[in-house]
Chain A
Amino acid sequence: MQKEFKLMKGNEAVAEAAIRAGCDGYFGYPITPQSEIMEYLMLEQPEKRTGMVVLQAESEVAAINMVYGGAGCGKRVMTSSSSPGISLKQEGISYMAGAELPCLLVNIVRGGPGLGTIQPSQQDYFQSVKGGGHGDYRVIVLAPASVQEMADFAVLGFDLAFKYRIPTLILSDGIIGQMMEKVVLPEQRPRFTEEEIRKNTPWATVGKTPDRERNVISSLNLIACNQEAHVNDLKKKYDTIEENEVRYETYQCDDAEHVIIAYGSSARISRKAVDLLRAEGRKVGLLRPITLFPFPKKQISDLVAKKVKGFLTVEMSLGQMVEDVKLVVNGQTKVEHYGRVGGSIPTPEEVADAVKSIM
C-alpha cells in the first residue's frame, strides 16, 4: 500500500495520529501554543469517522478528570495543553498514577514561570520526569524532535500507556507544535469494542456483570501498610519500564571525545552544531534521549566508559536535564549545560561555541 504523506503542523499531526490510533476521547481546554490540536479535532469531526468523542471542557482541571473517568472505563483517552495548563492537570495526573490508569498527555511547552510567554521552551523537564504532582510516581515521557515523531508517538504513547497502565506524556514544545513538516501518517486502527475492553482491561468500570466482582477505580488506600505495598508495586512497574523502554538516538558518537546531550528541538539544533564542529575536525557527537523517563542512563554510562572527555547538555532551560546527566556521570568527567530561556532559541553556532568552551 502506498504511504500517505502530508504536510502538517506538529499539533495537527498528533491530533490526526490520535484519531488513527483508535482514540476514544479527547478532552481539552484552549491554550497557546497547542490550540490547533483541539481545533483540528473539532474541524475533523472524528465522531463521524471513528466515533471518537471530542469535548471542550470548562478548564484544564475538568479536562484531566474527564480523562480519568474515560480511562477508568478502559477507553483510549487523551488531553493536551501547554505548560500552565499542564500544571493545573497535575493533580489529576497524580490520581491517574495512583489508580494506574492509562492515557495520553501532550505538553506543547512554553516559557515560564507563571504565565511566562507563548514562545517555545523546555522548562518543564523536572515537572515531567520527576512525577509532576504529589506523591512518588512517574509517567512515561516521550520527547519528539520532528512532526513525524509527533504522529508516531501518539500511537506509541497509547500502546505504552496500556501496556503498563500508566499515563504517557508527549513532552514537545512550541517549535515542534507549530512547525510544518512532511509526515507519514499511521494507518487507521479500530477503537476498542466493549467486548475487547472487558477482556483486555478486566479492571475497567463498564458495568458489573454477575461473572465478576465489582470494579473500583480509586487512588485511595487508608490502611498504611496497604498503601505502602501499592507504592512499592508502582516502583516495581517503574523499574520494569526503566529496564525495557529506554529509547534514544546517537549521532557521530562512535569516536566522539565530547558529546552533546539534548532532546526535542534542542536535539535538532545540536545536530547541526555537531556538523559545524565536525567540519572543523572536532570529534563531537550527539546523544538524543527519546524517552526522558525512562532516561538513557546506560547509554551515558557507556560513553563515560569510552573515556568521553566532557558532556554538554543543551536544553531551553536554566539547566534541568543536566542534573540527571550529572547523576549518571557521578563526577567521572565534565558535565556542563547550555541553554536559552524565556522563549529564546539557541542557534547551532551558539551551541558549537558552548561545546568549544568545555574542550
Chain B
Amino acid sequence: MSSIAKKENLVYQRPALRTEKEYSFCPGCGHGTVHNIILEVIEEMGLQEKAIGITPVGCAVLAYEFMNIDMQQAAHGRAPALATAINRMMPDKAVFTYQGDGDLAAIGTAETIHACNRGENIVIFFVNNGIYGMTGGQMAPTTLPGMPSSTSPYGRDVETMGGPMKITEMISQLDGVYMSTRQAAHTPAYVRKLKKAIRQAFENQQARKGLSFVEIVTNCASGWKKTPTDANKWLEENMFPVYPLGDIKIDGKLVK
C-alpha cells in the first residue's frame, strides 16, 4: 500500500476548505458531495477570503461546521434575504446560499422568487431530494405524485396536495436570473458536470452578472426508506423524469 500512497498517484483528496468535523449526513446522502464540490470551487477560484455562505434550516443547517469559511445560519427559508443584504452592502464578496427543497420551495418561496426577481448578485444552491430530511421524511413541495412520506403515508395525492413544484423552471422566467441549471451528484460523471456548473455560477457572481441558481437533484435514502444504492436507482428512474437534468438558462437566455 505504502508504495501506491504517493502524492503523484493522488486522484482525490479532502478539500482544503473542509473542517476536521465529520459530516453528520446519513450514509449515501448527496449533501456531503455537494459541500465538497462547492468548497473545491471556492478554493480553486481563490475566493476563501471573499466567501460568505448562508445555511438553511434542514439537513444542511450545520454546513457552517464543515465549511472553513465565514457563514451565517438563517431562519427557515430566509437565506436569500440574508444574502441580499450582504450582497448589497458588500458587493465585492462571494455570497451564496445553500438550501433544501422545504426551505427554498415551501416556506422560503417568497424570498427565493424576489431575490431572483431583483437579480441579486449571489449564487443559490438548491438541493432537491423531494422530501423533508431533517424533520423525518415529511412531504415537500417537490415530492413526486404518489410518493409516500410521513405526512403523505398513502402517497402524495395530487388532487388534494398539489403536484411537484418545479421552482427552478419558475424562477428561470424572471429577468433577474442570469443562469439556472439542474444537476446531480450521485456518480463521478454527474459530479464533474456539477462542478463545472458551480464554477460557472461563481464566475458569474464574480463578474457581477446577476443571480445564478444551481439545483442539484439528490437522493434521501433515509427519508425514502431505501438503501443508498436503491435510492440512487430510484432517483434516476423516478426523480429525473420529473426533474430533467441540464441547463435551463445560460447567459441570461432560456435554453430552447
Do A and B associate with each other? Answer: yes
Partner of A69 from B49, B69, B86 at Cβ < 8 Å: B86
Roughly how many angstroms separate A94 CA and B90 CA in the complex, as a whole number?
25
Residue of B nearest to A69 (CB): B82
B156 within 8 A of A: no
B78 within 8 A of A: yes
Given known pairs A24-B89, A53-B89, the reply for A66 and B81 (CB within 8 Å) is yes
CB contacts (< 8 Å) of B62 on chain A: these are 220
CB contacts (< 8 Å) of B69 on chain A: these are 207-208, 214
CB contacts (< 8 Å) of A70 on chain B: these are 85-86, 89
Partner of B82 from A66, A91, A206, A220 at Cβ < 8 Å: A66
B158 within 8 A of A: no
Given known pairs A53-B88, A62-B111, A70-B89, the reply for A216 and B81 (CB within 8 Å) is no
CB contacts (< 8 Å) of A63 on chain B: these are 81
Main secondary structure of the interface of A (DSSP, over half): mixed
A128 to chain B, nearest CB (A): 20
Number of interface residues of B (CB under 8 A): 34
Interface residues of A in 202-216 (CB under 8 A from B): 205-209, 214-216
A276 within 8 A of B: no
Partner of B78 from A75, A92, A217, A219 at Cβ < 8 Å: A92
B66 to chain A, nearest CB (A): 11
Number of A-B residue pairs at CB separation under 8 A: 125
Number of interface residues of A (CB under 8 A): 38
Query: Are A208 and B48 in contact, CB atoms less than 8 angstroms apart?
Result: yes
Roughly how many angstroms separate A69 CA and B70 CA in the complex, as a whole number?
12
Roughly how many angstroms separate A58 CA and B113 CA in the complex, as a whole number?
10
Query: Are A217 and B73 in contact, CB atoms less than 8 angstroms apart?
Result: yes
Given known pairs A73-B52, A220-B73, the reply for A214 and B89 (CB within 8 Å) is no
Partner of B85 from A77, A216, A219 at Cβ < 8 Å: A77
B144 to chain A, nearest CB (A): 29
CB contacts (< 8 Å) of A218 on chain B: these are 64, 72-73
Roughly how many angstroms separate A77 CA and B84 CA in the complex, as a whole number?
13
Query: Are B52 and A61 in contact, CB atoms less than 8 angstroms apart?
Result: no
Roughly how many angstroms separate A191 CA and B72 CA in the complex, as a whole number?
22
Query: Are A68 and B82 in contact, CB atoms less than 8 angstroms apart?
Result: yes
CB contacts (< 8 Å) of B114 on chain A: these are 57-58, 62
CB contacts (< 8 Å) of B89 on chain A: these are 24-25, 53, 70, 73, 75, 77
Main secondary structure of the interface of B (DSSP, over half): mixed
Roughly how many angstroms separate A62 CA and B71 CA in the complex, as a whole number?
19
B51 within 8 A of A: yes
Given known pairs A25-B88, A65-B78, A65-B82, the reply for A219 and B73 (CB within 8 Å) is yes
CB contacts (< 8 Å) of A216 on chain B: these are 64, 70-73
A59 within 8 A of B: yes
Given known pairs A25-B89, A207-B51, A209-B49, the reply for A58 and B110 (CB within 8 Å) is yes
Q: Beta-carbon contacts of A32-71 to B below 8 Å, as 1s and 0s?
A: 0000000000000000000001010111011101111110
B105 to chain A, nearest CB (A): 16
B42 to chain A, nearest CB (A): 11
A263 within 8 A of B: no
CB contacts (< 8 Å) of B48 on chain A: these are 207-208
Query: Are B111 and A58 in contact, CB atoms less than 8 angstroms apart?
Result: yes
A99 to chain B, nearest CB (A): 8
B181 to chain A, nearest CB (A): 25
Partner of B81 from A53, A57, A205, A207 at Cβ < 8 Å: A57
Residue of A nearest to B50 (CB): A207
Roughly how many angstroms separate A77 CA and B111 CA in the complex, as a whole number?
19
B118 to chain A, nearest CB (A): 8
B95 to chain A, nearest CB (A): 9
Interface residues of B in 54-74 (CB under 8 A from A): 54, 61-62, 64, 67-74
Roughly how many angstroms separate A343 CA and B129 CA in the complex, as a whole number?
50
Query: Are A66 and B84 in contact, CB atoms less than 8 angstroms apart?
Result: yes
Q: Beta-carbon contacts of A92-107 to B below 8 Å, as 1s and 0s?
A: 1001000100000000
Query: Are A65 and B81 in contact, CB atoms less than 8 angstroms apart?
Result: yes
Query: Are B72 and A69 in contact, CB atoms less than 8 angstroms apart?
Result: yes
B83 within 8 A of A: yes
CB contacts (< 8 Å) of B64 on chain A: these are 214, 216, 218
CB contacts (< 8 Å) of B84 on chain A: these are 55, 62, 66, 69
CB contacts (< 8 Å) of A27 on chain B: these are 85
Q: Which residues of B contact A (CB under 8 A)?
A: 19, 48-52, 54, 61-62, 64, 67-75, 78, 81-86, 88-90, 93, 110-111, 113-114
Contacts A/B (CB < 8 Å), 11 sampled: A58-B111, A62-B111, A65-B111, A66-B84, A68-B74, A69-B85, A75-B85, A214-B67, A214-B71, A216-B73, A217-B71
Given contact pairs A24-B89, A66-B81, A220-B61, enumerate 19 new A-B contacts (beta carbons under 8 Å).
Answer: A27-B85, A53-B88, A55-B85, A57-B114, A58-B110, A62-B81, A65-B75, A66-B82, A66-B84, A69-B72, A69-B85, A70-B85, A73-B52, A73-B86, A95-B75, A207-B48, A214-B70, A215-B71, A218-B72
